[in-house]
Amino acid sequence: MAGPLASLQDLLRPPLWEWTAAALGLVVGSFANVCIHRIPRDEPIGSPPSRCPGCRTPIRPWDNIPVVSYMLLRGRCRTCGTRISARYPLVEAANAAAYWGVAVVYGPSLAAAIAMALVTALLVLSLIDLDHQILPDVITRPAIVAGIAASLVIHRLGLESGARPASLIGGTFWWEAPAAAGAGYAAFALIAWAGRRYYGQEALGRGDWKLAAMLGAFLGFKGLLLTVFFGSLLGAVIGLSLVALRKASRTTPIPFGTFLGVAGIGVVLAGAPVWRWYLLRNGF
């Protein structure tokens, strides 16, 4: 490669690339917190600025530095001392860690940028589903379109080969993203229909169907299969553990979107090697 692109790649050599990604992850994680809080309440994302939940004082920019401000203020509002939830810095740190992982696995690439956007969307959806048992259309619908578009661009530019050893982004074939999105949606709709028909229970809401479509759009068939498998496994393990610990009963609703989101982030980071390991193990 020559010209400005080469010098950009030169500039983004490790470890600067990884640290830049982690710092970006902190800032975007702070934005994710705003989305998690406001989207389910139908509040605008952009304004008003964040306020202390206790005294309604607007949070000053220097008290809003991801993770750092929380530690300096020991998790309390500067004005009134109200406790601020530890989840805010944890979400920021988790998003930063995920971006750092994406940076290591993907290197500086278009696939990395797509993977970062997907990871944050999944983190936001996971926590909204955990809090409210919904997966808002304002996230899933544009994400399906964005996932298909991004996958088509990856294939159109022939960039899939560069990221191929490390990534499932975009799938193997150019038509895979729309096909996997449709298949994910249809499969989940079918499971939901069967659940209603035979158990008289709403097992999978429409939000889950769209999340499955979104995962297929970004990660293709392999990524979708791996995510559904590990998401179900995670849900079963945690659900049964909570029942055993008497923290939940068999009828407690399980936010499947939360487990799918967490599994999806894992698949973005490690799906390709896990898939190869599975194929090798079974003699392909």
Could you list the residues that contact Zn ion (CB under 5 A)?
Answer: 52, 54-55, 77, 79-80, 82
Q: Which is nearer to Zn ion, 55 or 240 (CB)?
A: 55
- Enumerate the H helices of the chain as residue ranges: 4-11, 16-38, 68-72, 87-106, 110-132, 137-156, 160-163, 176-199, 206-244, 256-281
* Least distance between Zn ion and beta carbon 33 (Å): 17
CA 32/CA 91 separation, integer angstroms? 8
Q: Which is nearer to Zn ion, 78 or 164 (CB)?
A: 78
Q: Which is nearer to Zn ion, 11 or 80 (CB)?
A: 80
Q: Which is nearer to Zn ion, 9 or 50 (CB)?
A: 50
* Least distance between Zn ion and beta carbon 201 (Å): 43
CA 13/CA 17 separation, integer angstroms? 6
Residues 6+ apart with CB under 8 A from 102: 21, 112, 115, 116, 119, 268, 269
CB distance 254 to 186 below 8 Å:
no
Is residue 48 reached through a cis peptide bond, with omega within 30 degrees of 0 on the bond before it? yes
Q: Which is nearer to Zn ion, 77 or 181 (CB)?
A: 77
Residues 6+ apart with CB under 8 A from 186: none
Q: Which is nearer to Zn ion, 34 or 191 (CB)?
A: 34
Instruction: Give one word for 42, left, alpha or beta, with left for phi > 0 and alpha for psi -120 to 50.
Output: left
